[in-house]
Amino acid sequence: MFPGKDEQQQVFAEPWEAHAFAIAVKLSEKGLFKWSDWTNALAEEIKEAKDQGQPDFGNTYYQFWLSALETILLEKNILKKSDLKSMMEQWRRAYLSTPHGNPVKLVKYK
């Protein structure tokens, strides 16, 4: 499925990485942004981190992926900054109130 990866290698270290990947692909397929715009946004996130001297501990790629997704959704006016902040706060509260070992349940966002 992925060039350079054998079938035994894990592509995503955490489930959220796969989710971020799938969301970006699906939104591009639906025409909300061009894939070239997406790759430019991702490259810019990585470049900024390098320029700022941020270390790469081997787990940063999908953090850049998520940041680029947020950036492109805001730039294309697909998402409002206030909505993003609200959703992040709702997620934080749900996470903090969920007992360890249980799945986090987020009330449907309106």
Higher pLDDT, 87 or 39: 39
Q: What is the largest CA-CA distance in the chain?
A: 42
Give dist(CA 45, CA 102) in Å, integer. 32
Mind listing the pLDDT tens digit for each residue in 56-101?
887 899 999 999 999 999 999 999 999 989 988 998 899 899 999 8
Q: What is the pLDDT of residue 66?
A: 92
**Which helix (H) or strand (E) covers residue 42, if one does?**
helix 35-51
Q: What is the pTM of this model?
A: 0.74
Give dist(CA 41, CA 34) in Å, integer. 11
Q: What is the pLDDT of residue 1?
A: 47
- 85, amino acid identity: K
In this structure, what token pair is assigned to residue 103? 């799945």
Domain boundaries, the chain: 15-79, 80-110
**Which helix (H) or strand (E) covers residue 17, if one does?**
helix 15-29
